[in-house]
Amino acid sequence: MGRRYVSLWFRHLLTDWLTLRQPELKDVPFVLVAPEKNRLIVKAANHLTESYGISTGMAAADARAVVPDLKVLDAEPGKAEEILKKAAAWCIRYSPLIAIDADGLLLDITGCTHLWGSEKDYLRSLIKTLITKGYDVRGAMADTVGLAWAVARYGKQKPIITTQEHQQALLPLPPESLRIEPETVDLLYKLGFFTVGQLIGHERSALRRRFGNSFLLRLHQALGNVDEPLQYIHPVEPYHVRLPFLEPIRTAEVIEKAINTLLEMMCERLNSEGNGLRKAVLKGYRVDGHLTETVIGTNKPSNNPAHLLKLFALKIPNIEPALGIELFTLDAFKVEEVEHKQENLWLLEGSEGSTDALAGLLDRVGNKIGAQNIHRYLPQASYWPERSIKPALSLTDQPEMDWNNGRPRPSLLLKYPQRIEVMALLPDDPPKHFVWKGQKHIIKKADDAERIEPEWWQHADRHKHRDYYMIEDEKGCRYWVFRSGHHQGGDTQWYLHGFFA
């Protein structure tokens, strides 16, 4: 299937935009001007002003001479491009490939029109919606960017040009429809060339000598003999699927069905290539122009639509459709190869299973409470608590040594020990109570002390030994506290270092 393009021409882009924000200007002739060579030059004129013969490029003084009550406003630099970028973001409902033109947009609509039933319905929907939003827009559809651009601005025939009608549609158009320099246009008119058809029969070498390579390039781009690359403002991710809706959707049930359809489309390709996604972003384009964005992540690459749907289902309550969502897009921003072999699970010895089951559980929990709140640790060769564990980077990381199962360790170890105030009957006894963060805890039970000393190569003069106690207060909460250093030295300090389940 050949490429198909749509060119949108915003005939009064800046003045339409300003009128939408200042409705009192609707029936008032006004222009937007900017200084140029010590003169104010008209950069944009509304349709009412143009009816008096005023056009862009005219001096503001001359325009006022024609229309004495003309309202002159300052043009804002860069505003046209800003408006077109926002328009392009809205037009992504109709195509993922959109480029900005000087006064319009160019859309690669290949494979998109069938979602609206036909090319005619597609173009009618696009133009009608933009006109409803308050913009004076013309559009055309053709096999090449050049012809679509030309027909949108200069064509008097039907706006949809089929492949069979391609060359015939270009012939009656004026030379300026080829997007060539004004000087070349003036030269062509002086030489008697008033239509593109009058140029087609001449030899290429003669046209190049007389009008230059730029003219020849534009002519062949319009004819489709030379490809014309476009710089799209929304580069499509390698793994991208989209689902537009003829009628906006709002309910959670329909949203879930739409997400499931997108995931099936995405996973079909991922599965065929032996890949799985690790991070996916769902974007919903609402009727009111706002964008909703939902992100999920997985611990292992997955191409299972049922599992991925469960992750998105956790986020559906946070999707606000407002007046309705017109388009969903799904992008897999991080994709990795799926390992098909079975792997050993880091469970207790003798357990059976696969990391797939655990990864699925962690995905659901992580996407509900945040993946940053889930941690996995591996043992490390050190008795000093802060250095006895290290974070695992993935589910496939395996411990290099066995866990130290000698004495109980807290389920939550603080990153840094926190100072506490204690009262103990004897220097070597566990505390009778301690105060932490202004709250007093009365101790009911305590185990014997466990002395832990740092490795001798870790600057023993800077690290005193610690006497750890597992204690329980009157509320049944259990803590891991320690006394640092010898009590005879007079500089003994007590610290809280962890919590037991």
Question: Using CA atoms, how far apart are residues 307 and 260, in angstroms rounded to an integer?
Answer: 10
Whether the model clears a pTM of 0.85, i.e. scores above it, the answer is no
Residue 57 has pLDDT above 80, yes or no: yes
Question: Using CA atoms, how far apart are residues 490 and 57, in angstroms rounded to an integer?
Answer: 89
Judgement on whether residues 66 and 170 belong to the same structural domain of the protein: no
Residue 308 has pLDDT above 60, yes or no: yes
In a domain, 406, yes or no: no
Judgement on whether residues 56 and 103 belong to the same structural domain of the protein: yes
Give the other-Cβ count within 10 Å of 422's Cβ: 21
Domain termination site, one of 316, 337, 358: 337
Q: Among 70-79, 394-403, 448-457, 479-488, whose mean pLDDT is lowest?
A: 394-403
In a domain, 370, yes or no: no
Give the other-Cβ count within 10 Å of 489's Cβ: 8
Looking up tokens 């259990």, which residue turns up? 478
Q: What pLDDT score does 344 carry? A: 47
β partners of residue 297: 279
Q: What pLDDT score does 352 carry? A: 42
Q: Which one-letter amino acid corresponds to residue 458?
A: Q
Judgement on whether residues 43 and 106 belong to the same structural domain of the protein: yes
Give the β-pairing of 325-337 and 137-142.
Answer: unpaired
Judgement on whether residues 135 and 165 belong to the same structural domain of the protein: no
Helix (H) or strand (E) holding 15: helix 13-21
Q: What pLDDT score does 28 carry? A: 92
Q: Supply the range of the domain harboring residue 492.
A: 412-500
The size of the chain, in residues, is 501
Judgement on whether residues 313 and 302 belong to the same structural domain of the protein: yes
List of residues 6+ apart from 138 with CB closer than 8 A: 8, 9, 11, 127, 152, 153, 159
In a domain, 266, yes or no: no
Chain mean position to CA 268 = 22
| Ranges of H-type helices in 246-354 | 252-272, 305-313
In a domain, 123, yes or no: yes
In a domain, 1, yes or no: no
Give the β-pairing of 30-36 and 71-74.
Answer: parallel
Query: What CATH number did the domain enclosing 323 receive?
Result: 3.30.1490
Residue 146 has pLDDT above 80, yes or no: yes
Strands (E), 359-449: 377-379, 389-391, 412-423, 433-436, 439-446
Q: What pLDDT score does 348 carry? A: 43
> Model confidence at 501, in pLDDT bands (50, 70, 90)?
confident
In a domain, 353, yes or no: no
Q: Which residue has the higher pLDDT, 402 or 385?
A: 385
In a domain, 307, yes or no: yes
236 half-sphere exposure, CB direction, 13 A CA radius: 14
Judgement on whether residues 117 and 13 belong to the same structural domain of the protein: yes
> Per the structure block, which two tokens stand in for 274?
């032996």
Domain termination site, one of 97, 115, 139: 139
Judgement on whether residues 117 and 197 belong to the same structural domain of the protein: no
* Mean pLDDT along residues 358-384: 69
Residue 45 has pLDDT above 90, yes or no: yes
In a domain, 348, yes or no: no
Helix (H, G, I), strand (E, B) or coil at 440: strand
CA triple 165-169-174, angle to 5 deg = 170
> What separation in angstroms does the CA of 180 have from each of 98, 150, 170, 218, 220?
22, 11, 15, 7, 12
| Residue/partner pairs of 464-469 with CB below 8 Å, 24 or more apart | 467/428, 468/497, 469/430, 469/431
* Mean pLDDT along residues 109-129: 91
Domain termination site, one of 139, 166, 184: 139
Q: What pLDDT score does 347 carry? A: 43
Residue 10 has pLDDT above 80, yes or no: yes
Q: How large a percentage of the chain has pLDDT more than 70?
A: 88
Q: To the nearest 10°, the Cα dihedral for 62, 66, 69, 72?
A: -30
Judgement on whether residues 127 and 161 belong to the same structural domain of the protein: no
Q: Are 215 and 187 in contact (CB under 8 A)?
A: no
Residue 394 has pLDDT above 80, yes or no: no
Judgement on whether residues 85 and 24 belong to the same structural domain of the protein: yes
Question: Using CA atoms, how far apart are residues 127 and 138, in angstroms rounded to an integer?
Answer: 7
Residue-wise DSSP of 151-206: HHHH--S-SB--STTHHHHHTTS-GGGG---HHHHHHHHHTT--STHHHHTS-HHH
Judgement on whether residues 212 and 330 belong to the same structural domain of the protein: no
Number of domains in the chain: 4
> Model confidence at 353, in pLDDT bands (50, 70, 90)?
very low
* Mean pLDDT along residues 147-152: 95
List of residues 6+ apart from 409 with CB closer than 8 A: 385, 480, 498
Could you give the angle at which helices 252-272 and 305-313 cross, rounded to 10 degrees?
150
> Per the structure block, which two tokens stand in for 430?
């566990």
Query: What CATH number did the domain enclosing 68 receive?
Result: 3.40.1170.60
Judgement on whether residues 433 and 453 belong to the same structural domain of the protein: yes
> Model confidence at 484, in pLDDT bands (50, 70, 90)?
confident
Query: What CATH number did the domain enclosing 156 receive?
Result: 1.10.150.20
Q: Among 62-71, 126-135, 189-198, 485-494, whose mean pLDDT is lowest?
A: 485-494
Judgement on whether residues 198 and 180 belong to the same structural domain of the protein: yes
